[in-house]
Amino acid sequence: MTDPAMSEEQNVIPAQDPGGSPAPAPRKIATKVNATDVDVFYGDKQALEKVSIEIPQNQVTAFIGPSGCGKSTFLRCINRMNDTIDICRVEGTIAIDGRDIYDRDIDVVQLRAQVGMVFQKPNPFPKSIYDNIAYGPRIHGMVAGKADTDDLVESSLRRASLWEEVKDRLEQPGTGLSGGQQQRLCIARAIAVSPEVILMDEPCSALDPIATARIEELIDELRQNFTIVIVTHSMQQAARVSQKTAFFHLGVLVEQGATEKIFTNPEDKRTQDYITGRFG
């Protein structure tokens, strides 16, 4: 599946509704996102078939699978990004904190505040580093005055491990940073509006190993505060950063489980064949 063109504002998400979340289910690891029997159609073509998965809170869940298997399509269901594609139809239920996000009375703009997204190619706004971060919080009235905004910009950049590298050039354009820095800027921009879930669609595929290591380190830190779902083509990356892994193939969620188990002793032959490089 090719990625449909994304507009930049999808990366900036407005403030969440703090009162809306019911208490998580009484389990050891709470489920943040619960998808049940999700079907996705592009026109007549079915892209996903009966996908059911629980995405645990404050953990990293990795989606793996060959190109066109539906993993990115499913990822985009979680913040209703597929709504932007006219011929796309989603069936089944996806609930965040128990609330169905495809419900009629759900405000999609609010939803995308709650569920942030980071893309394969870093896409900072053609604005200063400072404004890249400040833009979202400003338009959603999360900050009052310069001091307030300064604080939020600094804390977001710090949480994205970028502050030390850019603190002396906040007025310079975000597009002037290196690829890895741009990606961390996009992560900082996403977390500036305090989302609960962060979706990452191959966030390191355009980065060198050092920039990749920084993002992976960052992902590990971010999961203290956020629930993270990452699509990756790198098995090693999935093994390194995630606690849960789901393998998609031909629109079906073939196998899901503890990352450790999936990569050492998967149950399904298709999973085994894919991760060991045996797909013809």
Residues engaged in binding another protein (CB under 8 A): 235-236, 239, 263-266, 271-273, 275-280
Nearest distance, CB of residue 91 and another protein, angstroms: 33
For another protein, the closer CB: 19 or 280: 280
Write down the least CB distance from residue 275 to another protein, Å.
5
Residue 103 CB, shortest distance to another protein, in Å, is 40
SS (H, E, C) the chain: CCCCCCCHHHHCCCCCCCCCCCCCCCCCCCEEEEEEEEEEEECCEEEEEEEEEEEECCCEEEEECCCCCCHHHHHHHCCCHHHHCCCEEEEEEEEECCEECCCCCCCHHHHHHHEEEECCCCCCCCCEHHHHHHHHHHHCCCCCHHHHHHHHHHHHHHHCCCHHHHCCCCCCEHHHCCHHHHHHHHHHHHHCCCCCEEEEECCCCCCCHHHHHHHHHHHHHHCCCCEEEEECCCHHHHHHHCCEEEEEECCEEEEEEEHHHHHHCCCCHHHHHHHCCCCC
Instruction: Choose between 224 and 265: whose C-beta lies nearer to another protein.
Output: 265
Residue (82 or 242) nearer to another protein, CB: 242
State which residue, 62 or 239, has the beta carbon closest to another protein.
Answer: 239
Nearer to another protein, 178 or 264 (CB): 264
Question: For another protein, which is the closer residue by CB, 184 or 244?
Answer: 244
CB 113 within 8 A of CB 13: yes
CB atoms within 10 A of CB 276: 11
Q: How far is the CB of 54 from another protein (least distance, A)?
A: 23
Distance of closest approach, residue 261 Cβ to another protein, in angstroms: 8
Q: Cβ 72 to another protein, closest distance in Å?
A: 22
